[in-house]
Amino acid sequence: MTGSILRRAPGAAWRYLRAAPGTFVWLAVLLATTRLVHHFPPGFRDRFLEHRSTNVHNLWRTPVRVLVASALYLDGGGWPLYFVLYNLFHVPVERWLGTWRWLGVAAVAHVGATYLSEGLVLLAVRTGYAPHSALFTRDIGVSYALAGVQGALTHRLPRPWRYGYLACLLGVYGFALAADRTFTGVGHLTAALLGLACVPAARWSARRYGTRRPRSDDRTAAG
């Protein structure tokens, strides 16, 4: 039996990877960039990441470049943790919605939460509640996209589990914001809400235009 399992394992692993190609390509890119940045001297590493940060200054000058670049790096590493989180959240959502709709949800959460949170930073600077240096605060990573996908996953869960999951999700991000009132706390909560709101539109698109529709068990789970 052990030999049979070992023979089937490569095929099962390949089917698992192929069912969510976008997630694993993204993870591969993050692994490569994390290893690359790890070998930079500390001073150069800071300048390198600041150049790819979605702070107010960079969003004003090169918005598209930094919005894309910031989603390709992990500030401070932690790739093994994100490998686990991507498998828990990104993989099921990509398999459910399809790669392009999953990517759309992640992009809406990433871009929307970034602009809202950094807009609050700009407002705080202009009204004197934050120093001018806040316009250059480093903001880089994939956590907004992850929070958006976590919000989207709510619609994939059957009742009544979805309500408990949603309460936990919003409770975690809401508590984090209340405990430490920073722009990233605003961004994470906003991203989760954006992901939650995106799925009805994505499901309508799948039914109306998509070539890959949710399976019958997916429709039942989504309610």
Spatial separation of the C-alpha atoms in residues 46 and 44, rounded to whole Å: 5
Q: Comparing C-alpha atoms, which of 160, 179, 170, 195 is closest to residue 89?
A: 195
Q: 137-179: per-residue pLDDT in tens?
A: 888 889 999 999 999 999 999 888 999 999 999 999 999 998 8
- The structural architecture, per CATH, of the domain 21-222 is Up-down Bundle (1.20)
Q: 10-47: per-residue pLDDT in tens?
A: 666 778 888 889 999 999 999 999 999 888 888 888 88
The answer to which of 112-116, 131-135, 191-195, 210-214 has the lowest mean pLDDT is 210-214
Residue 27, CA distances (Å) to 60, 111, 148, 186 in order:
28, 19, 17, 25
